[in-house]
Structure 1
Amino acid sequence: MRVYLPSTLAALAAVHAAREVGPAPLAAYGVTPALREWYADGDLEELEYAALTAAARASLRLLAADGSARRVVLAAEVADEAVRWARDATDRALVEVTAPVPWQKIASGHVDAAEAEDDVRAAVAALAAADAGDEDARFAVDGAEGHELLWYATQELGDLLR
């Protein structure tokens, strides 16, 4: 199953050095039955994009603790039996990966361009207010989602970290 793991540049550096994402359990996002039901008209590509977007949103929360300003999502292929559905009504794509993900299973990385940093910082600063229902804060969080993540092959991720 393809899963999307939210991350940060600092966490990516640690993953790159360790050659795996872990320890398990890992919060990830994927095409779940709940996502399929909610987005019934979407084809697989659209559903995977929705899961990627959910992981990018989760990356914002990691950035709040990390201090950096570029969202990172790692796409990985994991065995179906290593994925548990979270059945979270608020996040239809949320899954739990029950085993560490070896570097060889990472298919690609998705990272904000430098031009997105101001909007990402604003989104991170607005998270708590957005969670509390503030519409202006939600607009700031949505501003980060207006930036498409850039695609990187796994062999390019080391260069990105330099």
Structure 2
Amino acid sequence: MRVYLPCTLAALARVAETGEVGPAPLTGYAVTPALVEWYASGDTEELEYAALTDAARASLRMLAADRADGVPVAARRVVIAADVPDDQVVAGTDLADRSRVRLPAPVPLKKVAAVHVDDGSAVPDIETALAAVPAADGGDEDAKFDVDGAEAHELMWYATQEIPDVLR
């Protein structure tokens, strides 16, 4: 099963160093039965894009949490796409997070299929979204609009051998 794991550039550097995505348990996003049921007319590609988008939203929240803790992080969302055996993926039951899954073990780098990262041109909109996350999560509609503006940017695709280049 293809699982999309939200990440940050700093966490991606740790993945490159340790050779695995961890520590477990991990929260990821995938094409789950609940997502298929909700997105009834979508094909596999559309469903995977929906799961990737959910992971990108989670990456934005990871960045916002790091910033709130005073950690200086680059304003670029990161999503790791990994192929994990189905029996190692536990789908959630929360209908609000139809694509959310849990992985009970770290994911070896050899299971990573690709990395998706914001292009540098997205940074101003990601900065705006990061500043708006607390208010958006509190229900502020204008802030939600700013957070949604991050989704106007497609994440760039990188092969695993390009991770060192991404981190430079």
Short-chain TM bin: over 0.9
CA drift of 1:89 comes to 2.1
Residue 154 of structure 1: how far off its partner (Å): 0.5
Aligned partner of 2:147 in structure 1 is 141
Instruction: Report the equivalent of 2:40.
Output: 40
Q: C-alpha distance in 1, partners of 2:94/2:142?
A: 26
Query: CA offsets, 1:73-131, max 9 Å, x none?
Result: 00000011111012122211100011110000000000000010111111111112111
* Cα distance in 2 for residues equivalent to 1:158 and 1:102: 17
Q: Which runs of 5+ in 1 are unaligned?
A: none
Q: Which residue of 1 aligns with 2:11?
A: 11
Deviates more, 1:108-117 or 1:124-133: 124-133
- After TM superposition, give the deviation of residue 6 of structure 1 in Å: 0.2
Query: Which residue of 1 is the match for residue 58 of structure 2?
Result: 58
TM-score by length of 2: 0.94
- Once the two structures are superposed, the pairs formed by residues 122-137 of structure 1 within 5 Å of their partners are 122-137=128-143
Identity between Structure 1 and Structure 2 (%): 64
Aligned positions, number: 162
Cα distance in 1 for partners of 2:140, 2:85 equals 39
Name the SS of the counterpart of 2:96 in structure 1. Answer: coil
Give RMSD over aligned pairs.
0.8
Comparing 82-91 and 56-65, the one that deviates more = 82-91
**Distance in 2 between the 1:128 and 1:91 partners?**
19
The alignment's TM-score, normalised by the length of structure 1, stands at 0.97
Please state how far the C-alpha of 1:138 moved relative to its aligned partner. 0.7
What is aligned with 1:24? 24
User: 2:35 & 2:104 partners in 1: Cα distance?
Assistant: 20
**Partner letter of residue 42 of structure 2?**
G
1:134 counterpart letter in structure 2: D
| Aligned-partner residue type, residue 133 of structure 2 | L
- 1:100 corresponds in structure 2 to 106
Q: Which runs of at least 4 in structure 1 moved beyond 3 Å after TM superposition? A: none
